[in-house]
Amino acid sequence: MIREGTFKGLKSIILENNYIRAVFLPEYGSKLASLIDKETNKEWLFQAKSDTLTIPSYGAVFSDYDSSGFDEVFPSIDACFDPVTGKPIPDHGEVWALPWEYRLEGETVVFTVKSPVFPYTMTKRVWLEMNRLCFDYAVTNDGDTRFYFIWTPHALLRCDEYTKIVVPDSLTSVMTVEHQTEHLGEWGTIHPYPVTISRKTGKPLDLSKMEPPSANNCEKFYFTERVPKGMCGIVQENTGRKLMYHYPAEKIPYLGVWKTQGGYRGDYNLALEPCTGVYDNLSVAYAIRKVSFVEAKGVFTWWFQIEIGAE
């Protein structure tokens, strides 16, 4: 079932079945604002403290806004310059801070946005299949040159001391890219995963688990290997409920993890970030050839699914 509604003062599109209720905000970058597990009535997405949300303007600074839910990040995470044209790309990209048009096709919502600066159009088709929220993406490049990009699902997940990150077993090392880290050292430092030795305490630290909010820190790291399988997620070890991502590893080959353990505005959440390029910055990704692109007059497509259930 699809219906219109209101969420924190903004127009919403709600997809709902017996397993999931998903709330999207077309005017706010097509943000997935809420994801409810109806079997337990659990909200999986981190929520802002405010009762109302403010729609950002193009080029806004991401941290000036609510930092909640699942924002589409494209074509870069960090603010930088397009490697071909030199034009500036805003913080967390363009599309999270643009209104998206939408239409209904049966039980599917089709969201569309066109860049005001670059020659691309992005389309996102969303529907429910049992306990999965399904996305099909397409980026069309109307330009005469390749368009390089990073895409990631910036979904801030609720978590606690019972949350455990699940990734393919062969991912055994990570590289830190967070300057505010207390445990992992300077940008580019490599660590074993999941257990490493904290640079702060000298004691073992399990990177697949969360520290308490009192830790008052942030971590961001990338797995050094390309993912062997498009699968990652979190499991609540106290309840057995899980949230898993599924996606094509050949098109989304990299995986980052962001943890806010009280160190960013006092928030407490984590984000698993399958991505098409590294490390947060499109200019860096282009320079090290770990980046995706759409050919001139071409189309790049991929899919992404969020599965909710029990172990």
Q: Could you report the per-residue pLDDT of 266-307, keeping only the tens digit for each?
A: 899 999 999 999 999 999 999 999 999 999 999 999 999 999
Bridging pattern class, strands 195-197 and 292-294: unpaired
Element (H, E) at 275: strand 268-275
Quote the domain boundaries for residue 39. Answer: 1-151
- List, in sequence order, every residue forming a beta bridge with 110; answer none if it has no partner: 103, 125
Average pLDDT on 144-160 reads 98
The answer to whether residues 205 and 270 belong to one domain is yes
The answer to whether residues 68 and 198 belong to one domain is no
Rg of the chain over CA atoms, in angstroms?
19
pLDDT reported for residue 180 = 81
Reported as a single tens digit per residue, the pLDDT across 185-236 is 999 999 999 999 999 999 999 999 999 999 999 999 999 999 999 999 999 9
pLDDT reported for residue 286 = 98
Is residue 296 assigned to a domain?
Answer: no
For residue 85, pLDDT over 90 is answered with yes
The answer to whether residues 257 and 146 belong to one domain is no
The answer to whether residues 68 and 137 belong to one domain is yes
The answer to whether residues 125 and 209 belong to one domain is no
Final residue of a structural domain among 94, 129, 151: 151
pLDDT reported for residue 179 = 84
Please count the structural domains in the chain. Answer: 2
Final residue of a structural domain among 130, 151, 172: 151
The answer to whether residues 86 and 229 belong to one domain is no
Confidence of residue 139 (pLDDT cuts 50, 70, 90): very high
The vertex-53 CA angle with 49 and 54, nearest 5°, equals 130
The answer to whether residues 108 and 176 belong to one domain is no
Is residue 301 assigned to a domain?
Answer: no
The answer to whether residues 240 and 194 belong to one domain is yes
pTM (2 decimals)?
0.97
The percentage of the chain sitting over the pLDDT mark of 70, rounded to a whole number, equals 100
Final residue of a structural domain among 151, 178, 213: 151
Is residue 29 assigned to a domain?
Answer: yes
The answer to whether residues 135 and 172 belong to one domain is no
